[in-house]
Structure 1
Amino acid sequence: MPAQSAEQLWKAFNETTDTHGASYQTRWFGDQNQPEQVQAATDAILAGQKTATTTPLDSYTAEQVAIPQVGDYNILFNGDLKPVAVLKTVVSELIPFYRISAEHAYHEGDGDGSIGDWRKLKTAEFTPALEEHGHHLNPDTPMVSEVFKVVFRAD
């Protein structure tokens, strides 16, 4: 039976592995007000099609959220904001926008998987939020490039 809460999922995960006292954060991918977008990203993660993400550094600083670190655990929520898996961060790097690799873009699983399409999609996604904080997207805009893996599933 799937976990009813993040705490229950974390407890079930801890019964199968030793996390050495690690803690977790909760996480979803996409706009929380667009559950179909969150669900599509969750489905791609659970299918292994999305294993990476990129976020402007400004988003972390503006929201006063910690930058992902290698070894961090996250409870992944689906479009209904129900816990479905535990993710572990395996790579976290600070990289300028135009230095994000084609391989990383491919592993994000967006669009056609090419770096050109990734840049087009991410420019449209990142520009409004950066401008809201008085910044503009340019080739040197710092990005947090993260790779994660599913280490436990609720089902």
Structure 2
Amino acid sequence: MPEQSYTGPDDPRIAGLRVEGFAFPGPLRDKLVAAVLSGAKTSTTGLVVEYEHEGEPLPRAGTRGAVVDSAGRVVAVTETTDVRVVLLGEVGLQHALDEGEGYATVAEWRAAHERFWHGDELRAALGDPDFTVDDVTPVVLERFRLVADLR
């Protein structure tokens, strides 16, 4: 989900960086952050509607972000290397593999993402209890690299 800029300590490694909060705090975020820190996760997928709802701009190549864990601690810095907006039905296997969650097929990746996107937390965050995605839902495919492990 898009989040605000980090406003924590005056550490120059993170001052002014966009907060990268993968999923919502909890087990899924912990799993995703661990994958980022291990180097297994080098891509992520967001919904254009999330950015619009939050009034946040889409990520841009060259932008750095402060990765936060479930406790809100900044644990890493990433740099966006590529951003594409495509329709959900166009997401390819390489993107799914690079999400670092062990998906072997696009169908596995999509099923897991639909569970998340159709979940109560996201629907509540969007203010739409009936929110759903389909093949023509615009998604943001973001590629990134780990710049610093701050643990």
Quickly name the TM-score band, shorter chain normalised: 0.7 to 0.9
Pair 1:145-2:141 in alignment: yes
Q: After alignment, is 74-83 or 129-138 more displaced?
A: 129-138
Residue 67 of structure 2 aligns with which residue?
Answer: 76
Residue 24 of structure 1 aligns with which residue?
Answer: 17
Q: CA deviation at 1:135?
A: 5.0
Residue 125 of structure 1 aligns with which residue?
Answer: 116
Distance 1:133 1:147, change over 3 A: farther
TM-score, normalised to structure 2's length? Answer: 0.81
- Number of aligned pairs? 139
Unaligned residue ranges in structure 2 (runs of 5+): 1-7
Moved beyond 6 Å, runs of 4+:
none
Report 1:49-68 matches (<5 A): 49-68=40-59
In our comparison, the structure showing a higher alpha carbon Rg is 1
Q: Is the 8 A contact 1:6 1:26 kept in 2?
A: no
The DSSP-based 3-state class of the residue aligned with 1:132 is: coil
| Higher helix proportion | 1
Match of 2:29 among 32, 35, 38: 38
Q: Is the 8 A contact 1:88 1:148 kept in 2?
A: yes
TM-score, normalised to structure 1's length? Answer: 0.79
Residue 5 of structure 2 aligns with which residue?
Answer: none
Q: CA RMSD in A?
A: 2.2
1: CA distance, partners of 2:42 / 2:10: 23
Unaligned residue ranges in structure 1 (runs of 5+): 15-22
Q: Is the 8 A contact 1:73 1:87 kept in 2?
A: yes
